Amino acid sequence: MCGIIGYTGNRQAKEVILSGLKRLEYRGYDSAGIAIANGAMTLLKDKGGIDHLISILPEIRGKYGIGHTRWATHGPPIKNNSHPMLDCKGEIALVHNGIIENNVALREELMKRGHVFRSETDTEVAVHLLEEFFEGNLEDAMRKTVTRLEGSYALVAMHSKENGKIVGARNISPLVVGVGKRENFLASDVPAILEYTDRMIYLLDGEIVTLTKEQVKITDFEGKEIKRSWQKVEMSLEGAEKGGYDHFMLKEIFEQPRAIQDTIMGANLNAESGYTLGLRPETIKIIACGTSYHAGYVGKYMFEELAHIPTTVELASEYRFSSDTTSKPLVIGISQSGETTDTLSAIKTAQKRGLDTLGIVNIVGSTMTREADSIFYTRAGLEVGVAATKTYITQLIAMLSLAIKTGVATQSLGIDDARRLTNEMKKLPKNVRSVLDQSDKIFEIAQEIAGARSMFFLGRNINFPVALEGALKMKEISYIHAEGYPGGELKHGPLALVTDETPVVAIAVKDQTHGKMLGNIGEVSARGAMVIGIGTEGDRELEKYVDHVIYIPDVPPLFTPVLTSVVMQLLAYHVANILGCEIDKPRHLAKSVTVE
């Protein structure tokens, strides 16, 4: 969480920093700030997002500076807790992403030595340490400062007396250097600076970088110089623009056919290559958070059916505390950002246990791509909306592709069946388009449920995790309380909450669960609930049980989650839009969760 940026070069730093912060805003939007040095330090920060910052920003001239957009961890989102932070003399400015875990002890120690703290943040200790260690060289001061810090951090700092110099340090939280011509950049991620350069150096944990407009110098925390050349990134900025849609989320929902197609292409699913995978695990454990966890949960059914491999799914934040057992599963970590701290820590835990790890990641060059033993890339492109949509859909495609390959490797699936499934998969973009075509109809249903305070989402078997995801989408962007349940579980407690004021979305596609789902729908409609059914084209029976029905094309049961999920995304989107919610930036959330 939090987005940080630094610039040194010949342009006016303010312009570069503000445009970078706009692109980083998805990482946090509680407050924002900017500091520009020009002989003296000029700083402006406030509660609120980047647009607010721009509206109150006076003309500031200067060719090096830093900026920050915050997702609050320590201290509420008020002006004083916003970054950049200044030292006591107002000469050093610092921005931070991460959590300094020993901040309480350091604060006490620094206060005893006379430092005056102006915020409640964990970050401020770092700027006072820099002040204590500064003897004319900020890089040296940074090296001494990091020896005192525990926790996660990407730090970027500058000193008003060290003209044109920006210093960064990384431990766990991401930091990337953009290499320009007579200008250099530092940012939390690539899109923030892609407008200016596509030549990137990814900083690793335990490294310090010093930028001037002419030079990029990387050292380790001991001061040993590290030579690393830049890599050209192939990423388009198009993804960072709304392209005529009202919201990034809607644009990203409509980009799913393309994202699916690209991910299938990247999966290299063909008989000529023998569906090679190189993996024949005895068991699989999938670890992830949030929406990625739901994708993993869908994957469990795919691995079990196609490869007959027992598969468990665990929340990454919980896996770390589980006991090591005699089972030696292949651990699959799923993360669109590749930066989620809980998932990265779980991967490390698995590796310490001697387990093989495979990462399913969307962002090329992200931390997970370096930490997992092997990587499968989803090819969703840049996703800006905080609520994951196209990245989730491509995670489902990744699961399917890997399950098909593993099935062939374990001989649970013959090549002919693999080929048939692959051909079916290739029809998914078209099938998704036919769900997208029903957006207006889904909007009409959304109007009927927008007034609800609570909702239920039901599904069974492979569509149970889709119900969980449908509920998550609804609650995170519309703020309507929503719960996902397996259809059969309601009668064991939650049915007590079902009334004529709790709309129910029920996935009742034509598969082995169909009959049972109709029974579950009967149970909730008998309690007065309005039911929105999601069914398979041509299923006239379902219409008799529900108030509204949305049909998906008839596809093999294992593929239905891709289509039922799109219905849920559109429903959540329209409800949130009708309610006037901040769809792309839901309250309290951030796109990249780099705290534990």
Q: Which residues bind ligand F6R (CB under 6 A)?
A: 289-292, 335-337, 340, 343, 387-388, 476, 593
Residue recorded with tokens 């002890």: 105
* Nearer Cβ to ligand F6R (119/340): 340
* Nearer Cβ to ligand F6R (372/388): 388
The secondary element (H helix, E strand) that includes residue 230 is none
All residues at 6 or more sequence positions from 489 whose CB lies less than 8 Å from its CB, including other chains: none
Q: Compute the distance between CA of residue 198 and CA of residue 210 in angstroms, rounded to an integer.
A: 19
* Nearer Cβ to ligand F6R (128/475): 475
Residue 83 CB, shortest distance to ligand F6R, in Å, is 22
Q: Compute the distance between CA of residue 88 and CA of residue 63 in angstroms, rounded to an integer.
A: 23
Q: Which of 2, 63, 289, 390 is catalytic?
A: 2
- Coil, strand, or helix at residue 537? coil
Q: Compute the distance between CA of residue 382 and CA of residue 151 in angstroms, rounded to an integer.
A: 28
* Nearer Cβ to ligand F6R (145/343): 343
* Nearer Cβ to ligand F6R (343/577): 343
All residues at 6 or more sequence positions from 451 whose CB lies less than 8 Å from its CB, including other chains: none
For 135, other C-beta atoms within 10 Å of its C-beta total: 9
Rounded to a whole number of angstroms, the distance between the first and last alpha carbons of the chain is: 11
Does 165 participate in catalysis according to the annotation?
Answer: no
For residue 492, the one-letter residue type is H
Residue 333 CB, shortest distance to ligand F6R, in Å, is 9
Dihedrals φ, ψ of 282, to 5°?
-80, -35
Q: Compute the distance between CA of residue 382 and CA of residue 379 in angstroms, rounded to an integer.
A: 9
For residue 394, the one-letter residue type is T
- Per the structure block, which two tokens stand in for 173? 């939280």
Q: Compute the distance between CA of residue 515 and CA of residue 492 in angstroms, rounded to an integer.
A: 19
Q: Where are the alpha helices (DSSP H) in 149-237?
A: none
Residue nearest to ligand F6R (CB): 290
* Nearer Cβ to ligand F6R (65/333): 333
Beta bridge partners of 167: 157, 210
Residue recorded with tokens 């525990």: 150
Residue 241 CB, shortest distance to ligand F6R, in Å, is 20
* Nearer Cβ to ligand F6R (82/292): 292
Query: Is the link from the previous residue into 84 a cis peptide, with omega within 30 of 0?
Result: yes
Q: Are 505 and 473 in contact (CB under 8 A)?
A: no
Residue 208 CB, shortest distance to ligand F6R, in Å, is 26
Does 591 participate in catalysis according to the annotation?
Answer: yes
Q: How many residues would you count in the chain?
A: 596
All residues at 6 or more sequence positions from 593 whose CB lies less than 8 Å from its CB, including other chains: 1, 289, 290, 337, 339, 340, 341, 342
Residue 30 CB, shortest distance to ligand F6R, in Å, is 17
Q: Compute the distance between CA of residue 142 and CA of residue 152 in angstroms, rounded to an integer.
A: 15
Residue 529 CB, shortest distance to ligand F6R, in Å, is 25
Residue 292 CB, shortest distance to ligand F6R, in Å, is 4
Residue 391 CB, shortest distance to ligand F6R, in Å, is 7
Q: Compute the distance between CA of residue 297 and CA of residue 289 in angstroms, rounded to an integer.
A: 11
Q: From residue 240, how far is each of 19, 186, 193, 388 by CA, in Å? A: 12, 19, 12, 15
Residue 349 CB, shortest distance to ligand F6R, in Å, is 16
Q: From residue 395, how far is each of 242, 378, 391, 454 by CA, in Å? A: 23, 6, 6, 28
* Nearer Cβ to ligand F6R (343/461): 343
Residue 485 CB, shortest distance to ligand F6R, in Å, is 19
All residues at 6 or more sequence positions from 540 whose CB lies less than 8 Å from its CB, including other chains: none
Q: Are 67 and 17 in contact (CB under 8 A)?
A: yes
* Nearer Cβ to ligand F6R (169/287): 287
* Nearer Cβ to ligand F6R (1/445): 1
Catalytic positions are 2, 591
